[in-house]
Amino acid sequence: MAQLQITLTITEFCLHTGVTEAELTEVVGLGVIQPRDPQADHWLFDDGALQAFNRAQRLQRELALDWPGVAVTLTLLDEIEQLRKENNQLRHRLERFIAK
């Protein structure tokens, strides 16, 4: 079964999220979200970008951060998640080594 892919124009994205076009441009410039084709004349956003933006907007609201602060926070959260994965992999390797 094919998965339905949602695509939003800039205007639709702004209407759906309540963000202004200027804020959206800033958020994209900071790397918080990415349009499907950043080089295109007219950006289109998929549901992954919408989910990422909703997460970023929640952080902005809950932590009272500006968009650059949100970008840094998301980068740090991604790094923490990556470190947790690596830690779990190393822990499993160590457990196999000790079990022998």
CATH number reported for the structural domain that contains residue 83 in this entry: 1.10.1660.10
In a domain, 41, yes or no: yes
Give the number of other CB atoms < 10 A from CB of residue 21: 11
Asked whether residue 1 is assigned to any structural domain, the reply reads no
Q: How many domains does the chain have?
A: 1
Please check the confidence at residue 99 and state whether its pLDDT lies above 90. no
Does residue 17 sit within a domain? yes
The reported pLDDT for the residue numbered 84 is: 97
Contact (CB, 8 A) for 52 and 32:
yes
Q: Please give the residue range of the domain that contains residue 64.
A: 7-99
What is residue 35's DSSP assignment?
-
Q: What is the mean pLDDT of residues 7-36?
A: 95
Q: Is residue 2 part of a domain?
A: no
Q: For residue 56, how far is the Cα from the chain centroid? A: 7
SS3 content of the chain, % helix, strand, coil (to 5): 65, 5, 25
pLDDT at res. 87: 97
Residue 22 counted as domain residue: yes
